[in-house]
Each structure stands twice: as structure tokens, then as C-alpha cells.
Amino acid sequence: MLDALKSWWAKLPTLASQRRLALILLISQGAITVTGSIVRVTGSGLGCDGWPNCHPGSLVPVPGAAPIVQQFVEFGNRLLTFVLAAVALLVALSVHRARRRDEILIYAWISGLGIIAQAVIGGISVHLDLKWWAVALHFLPSMILVWVAALLFMRINEPDDARPARIFPHNIRVIALIAAIALAFVLVTGTMVTGSGPHSGDAGIGMEGRLEVNTRIMAYIHAFCMYCYLGLTVVTAFLLRRASAPQPAQRAVQVLIGLIVVQWAIGVAQFHLGVPRWTVPVHIGMSSVVTTFTAFLWVQGYRRPRETRAPHTHSVAGDRSLLKPLS
């Protein structure tokens, strides 16, 4: 057992381990938004009515304190936070042991600290009885953390000893940035649609603390923002094609357009079906996927070539440290 741990620790800073952990972190950041939406649509938001304890004097669910299914749904979502924090810690250890460049270290630290901040925000939203704006402030930072995790996953594969090079023209990257800003408006208005809709997060609080606006009008505003985002992404794709941009950039924007269309179709179905519960986790999950590929497209604007003198960790200092015991 000890030998296995030593072997694992020795391999932790390798590029393969860094990439694997970064991918797990990215998937986990998206997954916790889905489990959070399941908490909402099952009315389990106050299944644990305290924080950090599930109930006064108990960290875990208590029979009879609330419907047991709702308790375990909410408690399970809380447990996933600890899994996510453990993955973020492993990512940070991996890139620090590999002595990666500051950009990657910053992304790793933002991910870890962001998870802690999200746990606190989640606790505050429970104490505020799931007011719509508190729940929105719990969701939106998750999208930022998904974006950061996507950047981390892509940048980890770039060697530290290579200089960044412009991949496609600056004006196209500006439009891609504007499209990303439009996505932010899509996400914000989406929380407002949800905040005024039927799923309060807990069956016991009803519509108390909900956003008092016309849900249909709010949905139209949300859709308008989405069409702007889609249009800007299509313009980006056209310009990339006209500029004969490298294939990875063109593939990224093509996949992104397809994902936006799928997300649009889910939103339309929600609108016409009256927001059935099963559509909410799917829509939330696709939000993470769309955010991820928007970040992937952004990364394509500047890349570091893969030729490197440090093939094991993508860091010259990290390779020296890793191979030192073998010399």
C-alpha cells in the first residue's frame, strides 16, 4: 500500500496526471450544477435546514426532521462539494509539484478558493430560505468556475517554455469576447426566468421570496439574449473560416454552434411544456457544456506551440525535479 502511494505521488506532477485531474475537475464543476438543479426541482432545498449541519446538532440527515428523500438529495449535493474540493486540491498539488507557470497556478487556486466560496454562498441561501436572488448568486459563480476549469484544462497542455502565439486575428477574438459577454447575459436572465418560475427549491416555501415579474416576458428577454449570443458566435465562425483559421479553432466554434442550438431547443421545449421538472437538470447541464466550449473557443485565440524541452511535466523546472531521483 505504501509503495502504491509513493508511486502515485511520484506520478502526480506528470503531464498525464495534470490533464486527467483537470478534466475530472471540469466535469465535476459542471456536475455539481446538475445536482443542484435536482435539489431545486425535487423541492429539497431545505431538506437540510441548516448549514454546515444538516439539522441543528446533526451533520447528517435526521429521520423525521424532513422527508427523508429530500434530506438525502440535499445532503448528497453537499457531499459532492467535498469531492469537488478534493479534486481541486489534487489539481493544485499536481501543478505545484510540476512547477507550472503562474497562469496555471492562478487557475488552480481560483478553482479551489471558488469552491469554498460557493459552499458559503450555498449556506447563506439556505439561511435566507432560498430567496431567488440568493439561489442565482449560488448558480452564477458555478458558471465562472466552469469557465476557469475549462481554461485550466486547455492551458495545462501548453508547455511553459513556449511563447504564446496569436492563432487568429485580434478583431475575431474581440467578437468572440463579445459573444462570451452575451453568454453572461443569457445566464443572468436565465436565473431570473427560473427565479420567477414554478420551482422554488423547496415545496414548503411556495412562491414566497420569488422574483415578482412576468415569467413569460422574462423568458422573451432571456431568448433575445440567447439569439444575440448565437448570432455573434455564427459571425465568429464565418470570420474564422474566411481567415482560414486553424482547424482546432474552426471545429471549436462549429461544435459550440451545435450546442447552442441544442440548448435553444431545450429552452423552447421548457417554455411550451410549462417547465417540467426533468428539463431543468438537462438545461442546467447544457449551460455548463456551452460555457465550457465558449471558453475553449476563447483559448484558441492564443496558444503555445507543443514543441517543448520538458515533455514529462511541460515545465523545465518540473522535469528537473521529477527526474532528479533517477539521475
In a domain, 7, yes or no: no
Check residues 108 and 75 and name the one with the higher pLDDT: 108
Q: 1: exposed, middle or buried (C-beta count within 10 Å: 0-12, 13-18, 19+)?
A: exposed
The phi-psi region of residue 162 (left if phi > 0; otherwise alpha if psi is between -120 and 50; otherwise beta) is beta
What mean pLDDT is reported for the chain?
A: 86
**What are the C-alpha distances in Å from 233 to residues 257, 258, 265?**
7, 11, 17
Per-residue pLDDT band for 128 (boundaries 50, 70, 90) equals confident
**Mean pLDDT within 79-86:** 91
pLDDT for position 206: 47
The domain tally of the chain equals 1
Question: Is pLDDT of 40 > 80?
Answer: no
DSSP string, 230-251: HHHHHHHHHHHHHTT--HHHHH
Q: List pLDDT tens digits, range 10-20.
A: 788 999 999 99
Instruction: Supply the pLDDT for residue 307.
Output: 74
**What local confidence, expressed as pLDDT, does residue 201 receive?**
45
Q: Give which of 42, 18, 47 is closest to 158, Cα–Cα.
A: 18
Identify whether 147 is part of a domain.
Answer: yes
Q: Is residue 5 part of a domain?
A: no
**2 in a domain, yes or no?**
no
Mean pLDDT on 41-59: 75
Write down the pLDDT at residue 325.
Answer: 52
The residue with greater pLDDT, 101 or 200, is 101
Q: Looking at the domain assignment, is residue 314 inside a domain?
A: no
Give the domain range for residue 290. 16-308
Which of 82-86, 127-131, 146-150, 264-268 has the lowest average pLDDT?
A: 127-131
**80-107 mean pLDDT:** 94
90, part of any domain:
yes
Q: Of the segments 10-24, 60-74, 122-136, which one has the largest average pLDDT value?
A: 10-24
Q: Residues, the chain, total? A: 327
Range scoring the smallest mean pLDDT among 214-223, 277-286, 307-316: 307-316
Q: Give me the mean pLDDT over the 31-58 stretch.
A: 79
Q: Inform me whether the pLDDT recorded for 202 exceeds 50.
A: no
For residue 59, what pLDDT is reported?
81
- The answer as to whether 9 is a domain residue is no
Q: Is the pLDDT of residue 200 over 60?
A: no
Tell me whether residue 2 is exposed, middle or buried, using C-beta atoms within 10 angstroms of its C-beta: 0 to 12, 13 to 18, 19 or more.
Answer: exposed
Return the amino acid letter for 312: H
The pLDDT of residue 209 is 53
* pLDDT surpasses 80 at 308: no
> What pLDDT shows up at residue 199?
53
Residue-wise DSSP of 282-314: HHHHHHHHHHHHHHHHHHTTEE--S--S-TTTS
Q: Average pLDDT in the 188-212 region?
A: 65
User: Which range is least confidently modeled, 22-31, 242-251, 277-286?
Assistant: 277-286
Separation CA 121–CA 123 (nearest Å):
5
Secondary structure (3-state) at 178: helix
Q: Is pLDDT of 183 > 70?
A: yes
Residue 6 has pLDDT above 80, yes or no: no
Between residues 165 and 63, the one the model is more confident about: 165
User: Tens digit of pLDDT for each residue in 148-178?
Assistant: 999 999 999 999 988 889 998 999 999 999 9
Asked, for residue 144, whether it belongs to a domain, the answer is: yes
